[in-house]
Chains A and B, each alone.
Chain A
Amino acid sequence: MDSYDAPELTPRQDASSRLKDFFIGATPLQKRLESVRKQTSFIPTPPRRKIPQGSQLQEDVDPQKFAVLLHKQWTLYSLTPLYKFSYTDFKEYSKLLTAFIAAEKKKGLAVEVGDDFNIKVIFSTLMGVKGTERDPEAFLVQILSKSQLPSEHKEGKVLWTGWFCCVFGDSLLETVSEDFTCLPLFLANGAETNTAIIGTWFQKTFDCYFRPLAISSFNLSWMAAMWTACKMDHYMATTEFLWSVPCSPHSLDISYAIHPEDAKALWDNVHKTPGEVTQEEVDLFMDCLYSHFHRHFKIHLSATRLVRVSTSVASAHTDGKIKILCPKYLIGVLAYLTELAVFQIE
């Protein structure tokens, strides 16, 4: 009946008809939009997450490199996928970026690429900083100052460090083609001017976009719960919360420190589902802290804004600053941050 039985007729490549593509959601762009729709129509964060497990790092990990990542305050950025980024071109990149930085510093004076400057940029991969096999390899960028004295041949001081990573970034990976490298989380330590210069270079070279990643109070309380839930052999720091009361001329900060073991005990009472953290548990955990505080100081903390959480695992500030303390849970912390970054770029 129907003239369907002509197999050589493939009507799929209908150049001007994007309608079908649209409904099937075939193209990466459609997938993108689909996922944005899903994100927007449901509660922004899933109501349950895994508690970070012990070290998920792979074998081929250089512990020395990891030391660079710990105990430093990092400023967080979200980053859209890098276009035509190649892990094999690190040498070339470092040459170009060095020249770019030198030129930016000497405004107006041209410099030759590959010239000798008093700084040096190093690109290197961070093996093992990833959640799944699909996650692209993380990499580190460092600016070193070269010492002027010829006698010192050792590498100079580190002026600036930044690294790019993606831990369990599946939702983002699905929506891009192979021309892109998805490293949605960027962490920088060092002068803001350097971050600006390097960020500009990346944006120009790989057509990506950096945006500062702030952490909302809501997400901070999630962090507090998840990090409290982590099993620790020994605690390195007290668990501390900081709330901010907006009042003029200076805002009033309320700091609330708890012994980490007490916090853990509280969590264990709240916690029901093994291996997971749910929204109800987070709310309950925070409510317990609030009511305890209210009993003593008659202040409703729930009416204020949570701005900082620090635990033995890591500490995070609402401005988008983070410090990771415990190597064991590095991946877990990064997984949550990646999730936030992916959410921001969608």
Chain B
Amino acid sequence: MRTCAVMSSQKKVNSWARKRTSQDSSSYQTRLSAWRVKEDLNDSKSISECGQNNTVEDCEGADGQTENALQIALRYFEKGPIKTSQNKEKHLKTVENVAWKNGLAPEGIDILLSVALSGKFGSAVSTRIFKCMIPATLISEDSVVKAVSWLCAGKCSGSTKVLFYRWLVAMFDFIDHKEQINLLYGFFFASLQDDALCPYVCHLLYLLTKKENVKPFRVRKLLDLQAKMGMQPHLQALLSLYKFFVPTLISVSLPMKKKIYFKNSENLWQTALLALRSRNQGFPSEPLKLMLANVYPIKRKWNSHSIIPVLNSCNYSKESRKKRMNLSDYFSSNGSFPLEQLKSFPQLLQNIHCLELPSQMGAVLNSSLLLHYINCVRDESLLLRLYHWLSQTLQEECIWYKVNNYDHGKEFANFLDTILRAECFLQEGFYSCEAFLYKSLPLWDGLCCRSQFLQLVSWIPFSSFSEVKPLLFDHLSRLFFTSSIFFKCSVLQCLKELLQNWLLWLSMDVHVKSVRNSPLETTLGGSMNSVSELIHYVGWLSTTAVRLESNRTFLLHFILDFYEKVCDIYINYNLPLVVLFPPGVFYPVLLSLDSSILNQLCYIMDRYHKNLTAAKKNEFVHKTKSEFSFSSKTYQEFNQYLTAMVGCLWTSKPFQKGLYIDPEVLGNASVAEYKKSLNLVHHPAFLSYTVSFLLQECPEERKVNMSSIRGKKWNWIWVL
């Protein structure tokens, strides 16, 4: 059912947490009498479950009978042996039937446990009792404590003891509390000396051990046992757990291959428990698979087992500071919360002040909870540790740094993916990634891990564009111009994301920041400058790309996607910035042969219009002498574009202003009648729509007369 491994603490926490939730649903009585009188929650529950399970017997009638029989049987066992063996057999059968079908209530288990361990009926009966001791819901901790005291009485045989430990291990997750049992740690530990019990006791201790249980004398004892018995998997498991809790006492190096310490096959109650789990809501019906948590892949190099280190709390430095204290004081440090137990967000919130940080900060990349922590913590040394680790690892792993290292390409891509996931989660880029880009972008071929690499670019933290440009964007534009259209499009896409990240970051920051008493650049104006420089850079890239790729629709789409972000900065992000597209983008788009492009252009123009109007209105209302009032040049430019557009598409008077075309040139090209040829009806992008419209209107007509639909223009708008 479950494979146990080094990280037992995890599992324990899991089961404890689950226990807490399941507790309230099953408020059982500890006293048998009370249980007998009332058909309480447990029983009514088992009835309904019986119905659910569709067992063969007719539940309603038979249940009361079996309940009675069970109680009689239990009372019989409780009282002690009576000579007639026939009865015993009958009662035992009753118990077995009920147990295997529905499980036993905590009280029943309490009785049977005492019976089995008192050895009153002999070890054969004890064995049978153990095999059928399956809880319906939970096992009371008190029963277990009582059982342990029976062990001390020494009334049962060795095989029964073994069976008891096996049962305890199998049922460990169903015990309601473990505090009392943990107090018996010393007793269990002493039982290790029994060779027959040793593996099972080890397993139990493995499940039970807490940090404060790890004591130097126990370590010594275990090492003695190891010396006596050799490298036994169960001892290895317990020792590695001890080391995990207190590395200053013990050192063990686990073999690289993953290893299962405790075999599943030894669990006699496997099928019953599976059924039980599915019956008890909240327990996953699937067997819990917990492998060795630090399963290392094959060791690639000595630096690390896998790229990202395993999450271990920082044990050493903590303890070294207190090391002048008494040994026992030093291990029972309750002050801090071990990372390994951190499983949920509420836990994080409760323990955020006393969290033990990982010994290797890189491990946080794999833990979303710790990323939360990183996000709010102001501890610079923590960030610096992450910075150093990440920048070194990136450079070490970067495949185009080294020749013949392309085997690790997949691994590097995965590593980048992990980083990107973390950045996306934090909504913030890492500085080490930026530094890595400075170094690696000039050497990049534009192919290797392209999507990951470009995403890294889009997560560059906000900074002054002019400062970053020579380090990054100049190299990027070189690649951009010399690569395929697909590369160009992905670069545009990544720059769009970069712009979006910057805008989000700034728009959040603007509201928080009220006082600007810092140097020039920290002003909003400075940041807006940086953003507008980025937009102009993309405008420049786009203009050139449009020419290089001769107005490919595919490319135009990506360019317009970028401007869809740009045109809405004022309204969407509440940032005082409106930057228009350059003419090198606007005119090719206006004259594009694709209707969807033109449609997108209309949308963008509309948004520009709304943003500019909003800006103007705001200015008017506040009458501020704001430093961010847009220059009239922006408005003029926009109006010019608008006139050109309206002139083209609407009034059939294209290019009256701005762009001048010599009539002679047009004459030479025999398009003297050019004025109408770009309007809504005749625009090459819309030609197919016009034709299909005409065919719909008057399908019988052979010759298509386009000018005939002049009056119906209005319909056209809605068609679009």
With both chains docked as a complex, state the minimum distance between the C-beta of A345 and any C-beta of chain B, in angstroms: 6
- For A109, what are the chain B residues with a Cβ–Cβ distance below 8 Å? 226, 231, 252
Task: State in angstroms the CA–CA spacing of A27 and B435 once bound together.
Answer: 16
- For A115, what are the chain B residues with a Cβ–Cβ distance below 8 Å? 223
Which of the listed residues A27, A28, A209 has the most CB atoms from chain B within 10 Å of its own CB?
Answer: A209
- For A176, what are the chain B residues with a Cβ–Cβ distance below 8 Å? 384
Q: Does B62 contact A (CB under 8 A)?
A: no
Which B residues have a C-beta under 8 Å from some C-beta of A? 219-220, 222-223, 226, 231, 235-236, 239-240, 242-243, 247-255, 301-304, 309, 312, 316-317, 320, 323, 359-361, 378, 380-381, 383-385, 387-389, 391-393, 395-396, 431, 434-435, 438-439, 461-464, 467, 470-471, 508-509, 512-515, 517-519, 521-522, 526-527
- For A141, what are the chain B residues with a Cβ–Cβ distance below 8 Å? none
Of the A-B pairs whose beta carbons lie under 8 Å apart in the complex, a sample of 17, sorted by A's number, is: A9-B515, A19-B522, A20-B518, A24-B518, A28-B381, A32-B435, A33-B435, A40-B439, A83-B317, A89-B320, A108-B231, A110-B240, A113-B251, A176-B384, A196-B301, A211-B395, A345-B392
Q: Does A273 contact B (CB under 8 A)?
A: no
The reply to whether A41 and B470 form a contact with Cβ atoms under 8 Å apart is yes
The reply to whether A19 and B519 form a contact with Cβ atoms under 8 Å apart is no
Task: State in angstroms the CA–CA spacing of A14 and B309 once bound together.
Answer: 33
10 A-B pairs with least C-beta separation: A196-B302, A110-B252, A110-B239, A99-B251, A103-B251, A80-B388, A209-B392, A179-B381, A84-B317, A36-B435
- For B253, what are the chain A residues with a Cβ–Cβ distance below 8 Å? 100, 103-104, 106-108
Interface string of A327-346 (1 = CB under 8 A from B): 00000000000000000011
A80 touching B251 in the complex, CB below 8 Å, given contacts A14-B512, A37-B467, A199-B303: no
Interface string of A50-61 (1 = CB under 8 A from B): 000000000000
With both chains docked as a complex, state the minimum distance between the C-beta of B7 and any C-beta of chain A, in angstroms: 17
- For A177, what are the chain B residues with a Cβ–Cβ distance below 8 Å? 380-381, 384
A window 1-33: CB within 8 A of B: 4, 9, 11, 14-17, 19-20, 22-24, 27-30, 32-33
Task: State in angstroms the CA–CA spacing of A153 and B72 once bound together.
Answer: 76
Which A residues have a C-beta under 8 Å from some C-beta of B? 4, 9, 11, 14-17, 19-20, 22-24, 27-30, 32-33, 36-37, 40-41, 80-81, 83-84, 86, 89, 92, 96, 99-100, 102-104, 106-113, 115, 176-177, 179-180, 192, 195-197, 199-200, 203-205, 207-211, 345-346
- For B396, what are the chain A residues with a Cβ–Cβ distance below 8 Å? 211
The reply to whether B395 and A40 form a contact with Cβ atoms under 8 Å apart is no
B236's nearest neighbour on chain A, judged by CB, is A108
The reply to whether B226 and A11 form a contact with Cβ atoms under 8 Å apart is no
A110 touching B236 in the complex, CB below 8 Å, given contacts A15-B378, A19-B522, A177-B381: yes
Q: Which of B251, B309, B470, B517 is within 8 Å of A11, CB to CB?
A: B517
A180 touching B381 in the complex, CB below 8 Å, given contacts A205-B359, A209-B392: yes
Q: Which of A41, A104, A112, A209 is within 8 Å of B249, CB to CB?
A: A112
Q: Which of B383, B388, B514 is within 8 Å of A345, CB to CB?
A: B388
- For A208, what are the chain B residues with a Cβ–Cβ distance below 8 Å? 388
- For A24, what are the chain B residues with a Cβ–Cβ distance below 8 Å? 518-519, 522
B392's nearest neighbour on chain A, judged by CB, is A209
The reply to whether B223 and A112 form a contact with Cβ atoms under 8 Å apart is yes
With both chains docked as a complex, state the minimum distance between the C-beta of A101 and any C-beta of chain B, in angstroms: 8
Task: State in angstroms the CA–CA spacing of A112 and B218 once bound together.
Answer: 11
- For B393, what are the chain A residues with a Cβ–Cβ distance below 8 Å? 209
The reply to whether B250 and A99 form a contact with Cβ atoms under 8 Å apart is yes
Task: State in angstroms the CA–CA spacing of A100 and B434 once bound together.
Answer: 36
Task: State in angstroms the CA–CA spacing of A24 and B464 once bound together.
Answer: 12
A32 touching B518 in the complex, CB below 8 Å, given contacts A100-B251, A113-B248, A211-B392: no
Task: State in angstroms the CA–CA spacing of A106 and B230 once bound together.
Answer: 12
Task: State in angstroms the CA–CA spacing of A96 and B315 once bound together.
Answer: 12
Task: State in angstroms the CA–CA spacing of A195 and B396 once bound together.
Answer: 18
Task: State in angstroms the CA–CA spacing of A309 and B198 once bound together.
Answer: 62
Task: State in angstroms the CA–CA spacing of A177 and B304 once bound together.
Answer: 26
A204 touching B381 in the complex, CB below 8 Å, given contacts A108-B253, A109-B252, A110-B236: no
Task: State in angstroms the CA–CA spacing of A80 and B242 once bound together.
Answer: 30
The reply to whether A203 and B303 form a contact with Cβ atoms under 8 Å apart is yes
- For B235, what are the chain A residues with a Cβ–Cβ distance below 8 Å? 110
Task: State in angstroms the CA–CA spacing of A179 and B381 once bound together.
Answer: 7
Task: State in angstroms the CA–CA spacing of A84 and B316 once bound together.
Answer: 10
Task: State in angstroms the CA–CA spacing of A92 and B315 once bound together.
Answer: 13
The reply to whether B471 and A37 form a contact with Cβ atoms under 8 Å apart is yes
The reply to whether A111 and B250 form a contact with Cβ atoms under 8 Å apart is yes
With both chains docked as a complex, state the minimum distance between the C-beta of B501 and any C-beta of chain A, in angstroms: 14
Task: State in angstroms the CA–CA spacing of A106 and B251 once bound together.
Answer: 10
The reply to whether A40 and B517 form a contact with Cβ atoms under 8 Å apart is no
The reply to whether A36 and B438 form a contact with Cβ atoms under 8 Å apart is yes
The reply to whether A113 and B249 form a contact with Cβ atoms under 8 Å apart is yes
- For B385, what are the chain A residues with a Cβ–Cβ distance below 8 Å? 83, 207
B222's nearest neighbour on chain A, judged by CB, is A110
With both chains docked as a complex, state the minimum distance between the C-beta of A79 and any C-beta of chain B, in angstroms: 9
Task: State in angstroms the CA–CA spacing of A309 and B704 once bound together.
Answer: 85
With both chains docked as a complex, state the minimum distance between the C-beta of A125 and any C-beta of chain B, in angstroms: 18
With both chains docked as a complex, state the minimum distance between the C-beta of B503 and any C-beta of chain A, in angstroms: 14
With both chains docked as a complex, state the minimum distance between the C-beta of B575 and any C-beta of chain A, in angstroms: 13
Which of the listed residues A14, A22, A112, A196 has the most CB atoms from chain B within 10 Å of its own CB?
Answer: A112
- For A33, what are the chain B residues with a Cβ–Cβ distance below 8 Å? 431, 434-435
Task: State in angstroms the CA–CA spacing of A17 and B517 once bound together.
Answer: 14
A40 touching B220 in the complex, CB below 8 Å, given contacts A17-B512, A108-B252, A199-B303: no
Q: Which of B236, B243, B304 is within 8 Å of A203, CB to CB?
A: B304
- For B388, what are the chain A residues with a Cβ–Cβ distance below 8 Å? 80-81, 208-209, 345
Task: State in angstroms the CA–CA spacing of A203 and B304 once bound together.
Answer: 9
- For A102, what are the chain B residues with a Cβ–Cβ distance below 8 Å? 251
- For B220, what are the chain A residues with a Cβ–Cβ distance below 8 Å? 112
- For B508, what are the chain A residues with a Cβ–Cβ distance below 8 Å? 16
Task: State in angstroms the CA–CA spacing of A109 and B519 once bound together.
Answer: 61
Task: State in angstroms the CA–CA spacing of A343 and B231 once bound together.
Answer: 46
A203 touching B360 in the complex, CB below 8 Å, given contacts A96-B316, A209-B389, A210-B303: yes
A92 touching B323 in the complex, CB below 8 Å, given contacts A32-B387, A99-B250: yes
Task: State in angstroms the CA–CA spacing of A307 and B526 once bound together.
Answer: 48
B510's nearest neighbour on chain A, judged by CB, is A19
Given A11-B515, A197-B302, 13 extra CB contacts under 8 A = A20-B518, A22-B463, A32-B431, A33-B435, A84-B317, A96-B251, A106-B253, A109-B231, A113-B251, A177-B384, A203-B360, A205-B359, A207-B361
Task: State in angstroms the CA–CA spacing of A84 and B320 once bound together.
Answer: 10
- For A41, what are the chain B residues with a Cβ–Cβ distance below 8 Å? 470-471
The reply to whether A27 and B471 form a contact with Cβ atoms under 8 Å apart is no
- For B254, what are the chain A residues with a Cβ–Cβ distance below 8 Å? 107-108
- For A210, what are the chain B residues with a Cβ–Cβ distance below 8 Å? 303
B238's nearest neighbour on chain A, judged by CB, is A110
A95's nearest neighbour on chain B, judged by CB, is B248
- For A37, what are the chain B residues with a Cβ–Cβ distance below 8 Å? 438, 467, 471
A110 touching B509 in the complex, CB below 8 Å, given contacts A15-B378, A204-B360: no
Task: State in angstroms the CA–CA spacing of A103 and B509 once bound together.
Answer: 51
The reply to whether A110 and B251 form a contact with Cβ atoms under 8 Å apart is yes
Q: Which of A16, A80, A86, A211 is within 8 Å of B320, CB to CB?
A: A86
A112 touching B302 in the complex, CB below 8 Å, given contacts A24-B519, A207-B389: no
The reply to whether A108 and B255 form a contact with Cβ atoms under 8 Å apart is yes
Q: Which of A29, A81, A110, A209 is within 8 Å of B383, CB to CB?
A: A29
The reply to whether B512 and A92 form a contact with Cβ atoms under 8 Å apart is no
B224's nearest neighbour on chain A, judged by CB, is A112
With both chains docked as a complex, state the minimum distance between the C-beta of B519 and any C-beta of chain A, in angstroms: 7
Task: State in angstroms the CA–CA spacing of A89 and B391 once bound together.
Answer: 29
B526's nearest neighbour on chain A, judged by CB, is A23
The reply to whether B302 and A200 form a contact with Cβ atoms under 8 Å apart is yes
